[in-house]
């Protein structure tokens, strides 16, 4: 199958590869992680977002999958940077399909990237939920224990 | 393993590997799919396009006689490579047709004697899909599961035989994993249990690559093709035993060519090419086997000495000399093919097919889907060189290291996380 130039470009120079976990300057409470797919299906994406002041300040990914899956997740990290969580949650797989010129057989790669974004946002919100609840109860903002 | 740059978003970019002198790109290392036609074969074919272009069935002029003589010479050349008689060769358009003719032809002819056929899960689709069609027509088919090394045992075959078994069809060598079946032991066991049960082998991948003799293997029908053997595409043959005479019904009726088993004007240039290719294989197989095996072992050692977590699929011992099928754990096969864009190899990854399911051959061996997705088949052939092997080793090692840096599974594995303990979300 012939790949589009954009897929090849992302595959050869993937953006934002890695993890925040080993970055000492990143507070774990700022990070949301989406891990989607399955090794038995031939693709697994892990997308991490770092949220500051309600905006996605940075993103990281690692992907086990074909070139199109790698390109989808690389592109996704670029797209979501600077977005609010709500904006990022609106990203549809069709945006990725268009941007990377996917043939029909590769559409599932873009779906996986959309799922990864949503899962990362959900994970981040879950982490924030106890603190938000504590805040609304009028308690003093506690330093996150998992820092 | 290369340490990761985790603090900066600097990415593991692909690195260009210098092409060594004498290596020309692209490199063809997919010789199980097809092969280049040997120039000596082309030379033998050429006169039969424009000079000796007669119809081999024309009995009343010299054009026909010349063509017929060439066809009969080729028949002898092909028969000699499998230890049969020239009269037992039936030309077909290729191995798919030969497999169809053998299986459907035998099933049709022997229908009244029983409706049971035995085959193996790792057979080529030309056999499996033919058997499936016969199942829809009322035949019963047993699909044997090979052991983890890809091999079936004679005991397995005979245990599946009943008094209704009319045909056993088992390939000589597998097209994906290159595993060579103990075809002589299987043939002997079948005939010991029931001499009337026909034994067919799809010999395509092993023909001219490993020793194969229809008498020693006690087969009744054998499918072969030219284009896996440095001959032209579009010509194959079914060897049909004459002593004792094996009868099959034809699939194609017409002028009664090929003793009524396959009508149609013979493609004389292709047949001449097939004959020459078989002759060359017969002469050169001993030396070529040694050379290909050395190249394959060089590739194997080059990869295993520099990469961990890689696994050969199927028996390394009982294998075609030019085959290496290897899983590179945590690196999806198609992404690896993409890094090897100037090298023609193939993958058992689902992403290379429309089905989204990984190789059924690897599945039958019990290779997990997660490893099947990471498999690459290297098919080394007559025209590959040591310099090409060395270059491919560099490319593969570099690409696997890079793609593992990109792989969350590799990171988890390095961190000691059991991937089976994770709740995955299959899609």
Q: How close, in Å, is residue B51 to chain A by CA atoms?
A: 40
Q: How close, in Å, is residue A137 to chain B by CA atoms?
A: 34
Q: A109, A116, A117, A119: which one is catalytic?
A: A109
Q: Where are the alpha helices (DSSP H) in A25-106?
A: 67-80, 85-89, 93-100
CB A13 within 8 A of CB A72: no
Q: Where are the alpha helices (DSSP H) in B171-265?
A: 183-193, 214-217
Those residues with Cβ within 8 angstroms of residue B361's Cβ, 6 or more apart along the chain or in another chain? B121, B122, B150, B174, B176, B177, B348
**CB-nearest partner of B4 from A18, A58, A68:** A18
B-chain residues within 8 Å CB-CB of A3? 338
Least confident of B13-27, B52-66, B71-85, B117-131: B13-27
Q: Which two tokens stand for residue B121?
A: 């899960």
Q: Which two tokens stand for residue B416?
A: 């000691």
Strand order of the β-sheet with B346-347 is B310-312, B323-328, B375-379, B346-347
**CB-nearest partner of B427 from A12, A41, A70:** A41
CA–CA separation, B166 and B116 (whole Å): 6
CA–CA separation, A62 and A22 (whole Å): 14
Per-residue model confidence (pLDDT) at position B425: 84
CA–CA separation, A98 and B168 (whole Å): 51
Kindly indicate the confidence band of residue B350, based on its pLDDT and cuts at 50, 70 and 90: low
CA–CA separation, B75 and B201 (whole Å): 19
Contact A37 B422 (CB under 8 A): no
Contact A108 B356 (CB under 8 A): yes
CB A65 within 8 A of CB A90: no
DSSP state of A38: E
Q: Please report the beta strands in B47-146, taking only residues with DSSP state E, as ranges in sequence order.
A: 89-92, 116-120, 140-144
Radius of gyration of chain B, Cα coordinates, nearest whole angstrom: 23
Per-residue model confidence (pLDDT) at position B53: 98
Contact B6 A3 (CB under 8 A): no
A13 in contact with B at a CB cutoff of 8 Å?
yes
**CB-nearest partner of B11 from A17, A44, A66:** A17
Interface predicted TM-score (ipTM): 0.89
Kindly indicate the confidence band of residue B135, based on its pLDDT and cuts at 50, 70 and 90: very high
Least confident of B110-124, B187-201, B247-261, B351-365: B351-365
Residues on chain B bordering chain A, Cβ-to-Cβ distance under 8 angstroms: 4-7, 9, 11-14, 330-335, 338, 349-352, 354, 356, 358, 368-370, 373, 405-411, 419, 422, 424-427
Least confident of A20-34, B30-44, B123-137: A20-34
Q: Which two tokens stand for residue B275?
A: 């004959």
CA–CA separation, A130 and B55 (whole Å): 87
CA–CA separation, B5 and A17 (whole Å): 9
Q: How close, in Å, is residue B13 to chain A by CA atoms?
A: 5
B-chain residues within 8 Å CB-CB of A19? 6, 411
Per-residue model confidence (pLDDT) at position B328: 98
Give the C-alpha distances (Å, rounded to integers) separating B171 from B22, B125, B212: 37, 11, 12
Per-residue confidence of chain A (147 residues) as pLDDT tens digits? 678 999 999 999 999 999 999 888 899 999 999 999 999 999 999 999 999 999 999 999 999 999 999 999 999 999 999 999 999 999 999 999 999 999 888 999 999 999 999 999 999 999 998 766 655 444 444 444 443
DSSP state of B320: -
A104 in contact with B at a CB cutoff of 8 Å?
no
Q: Is the pLDDT of residue B124 over 70?
A: yes
Per-residue model confidence (pLDDT) at position A3: 87
**CB-nearest partner of B9 from A16, A38, A44:** A16
Residue B351 bears catalytic tag: yes
Contact B427 A38 (CB under 8 A): yes
Helix (H) or strand (E) holding B44: helix B39-45
Q: Is the pLDDT of residue B193 over 70?
A: yes
Give backbone dihedrals phi and psi of B91, rounded to 5 degrees, phi first.
Answer: -70, 140
Q: A41, A129, A133, A142: which one is catalytic?
A: A41
CA–CA separation, B296 and B303 (whole Å): 11
DSSP state of B173: B
Contact B332 A12 (CB under 8 A): no
Contact A19 B350 (CB under 8 A): no
CA dihedral (B341, B344, B350, B353) in degrees, to 10, reads: 100
**CB-nearest partner of A62 from B5, B338, B408:** B408
CA–CA separation, A27 and A146 (whole Å): 8
CA–CA separation, B89 and B305 (whole Å): 46
A-chain residues within 8 Å CB-CB of B356? 41-42, 108
Contact A42 B358 (CB under 8 A): yes
A49 in contact with B at a CB cutoff of 8 Å?
no
Contacts 24+ apart (CB under 8 A), B400-403: B400/B307, B400/B310, B400/B328, B400/B331, B400/B336, B401/B1, B401/B2, B401/B307, B402/B12, B402/B13, B402/B14, B402/B15, B402/B339, B403/B331, B403/B332, B403/B335, B403/B336, B403/B339
């Amino acid at each position: 199958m012939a790949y589009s130039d954009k897929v090849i470009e992302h595959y050869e120079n993937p953006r934002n590869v890695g993890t925040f976990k080993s970055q000492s300057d990143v507070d774990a409470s700022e990070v949301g992680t989406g891990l989607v797919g399955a090794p038995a299906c031939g693709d697994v994406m892990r997308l991490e977002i770092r949220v500051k002041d309600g905006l996605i300040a940075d993103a990281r990914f690692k992907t086990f999958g074909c070139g199109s899956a790698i390109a989808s997740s690389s592109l996704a990290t670029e797209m979501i940077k600077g977005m609010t969580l709500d904006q990022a949650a609106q990203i549809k797989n069709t945006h990725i399909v268009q941007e990377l010129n996917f043939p029909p057989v590769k559409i599932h790669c873009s779906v996986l990237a959309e799922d990864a974004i949503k899962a990362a946002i959900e994970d981040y919100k879950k982490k924030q939920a106890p603190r938000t609840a504590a805040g609304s109860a009028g308690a003093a903002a506690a330093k996150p224990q998992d820092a | 393993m290369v340490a990761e740059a985790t603090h900066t978003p600097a990415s593991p970019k692909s690195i260009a590997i210098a092409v060594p002198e004498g290596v020309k790109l692209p490199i063809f290392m997919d010789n199980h799919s097809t092969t280049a036609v040997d120039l000596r074969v082309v030379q033998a074919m050429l006169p039969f396009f424009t000079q000796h272009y007669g119809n081999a069935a024309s009995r009343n002029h010299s054009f026909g006689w010349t063509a017929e003589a060439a066809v009969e010479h080729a028949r002898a050349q092909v028969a000699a490579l499998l230890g049969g008689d020239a009269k037992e060769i039936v030309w077909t358009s290729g191995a798919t047709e030969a497999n169809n003719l053998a299986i459907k032809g035998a099933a049709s002819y022997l229908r009244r004697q029983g409706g049971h056929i035995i085959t193996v899960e790792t057979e080529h689709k030309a056999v499996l899909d033919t058997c499936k069609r016969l199942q829809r027509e009322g035949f019963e088919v047993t699909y044997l599961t090979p052991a983890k090394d890809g091999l079936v045992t004679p005991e397995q075959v005979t245990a599946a035989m009943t008094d209704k078994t009319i045909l056993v069809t088992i390939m000589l060598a597998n097209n994906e994993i290159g595993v060579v079946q103990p075809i002589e032991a299987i043939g002997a066991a079948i005939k010991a249990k029931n001499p009337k049960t026909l034994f067919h082998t799809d010999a395509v991948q092993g023909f001219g690559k490993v020793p194969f003799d229809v008498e020693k293997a006690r087969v009744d029908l054998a499918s072969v093709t030219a284009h896996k053997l440095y001959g032209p595409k579009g010509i194959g043959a079914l060897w049909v035993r004459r002593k004792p005479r094996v009868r099959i019904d034809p699939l194609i009726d017409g002028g009664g060519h090929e003793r009524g088993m396959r009508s149609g004007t013979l493609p004389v240039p292709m047949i001449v090419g097939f004959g020459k290719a078989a002759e060359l294989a017969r002469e050169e197989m001993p030396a070529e086997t040694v050379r290909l095996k050395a190249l394959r072992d060089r590739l194997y050692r080059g990869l295993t000495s520099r990469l961990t977590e890689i696994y050969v699929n199927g028996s390394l011992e009982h294998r075609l000399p030019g085959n290496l099928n290897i899983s590179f754990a945590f690196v999806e096969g198609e992404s690896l093919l993409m890094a090897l864009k100037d090298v023609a190899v193939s993958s058992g990854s689902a992403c290379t097919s429309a089905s989204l399911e990984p190789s059924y051959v690897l599945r039958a061996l019990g290779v997990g889907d997660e490893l099947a997705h990471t498999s690459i088949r290297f098919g080394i052939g007559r025209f590959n060189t040591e310099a090409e092997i060395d270059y491919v080793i560099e490319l593969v090692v570099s690409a696997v290291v890079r793609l593992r840096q990109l792989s969350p599974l590799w990171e988890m594995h390095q961190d000691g996380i059991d991937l089976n303990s994770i709740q995955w979300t299959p899609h």
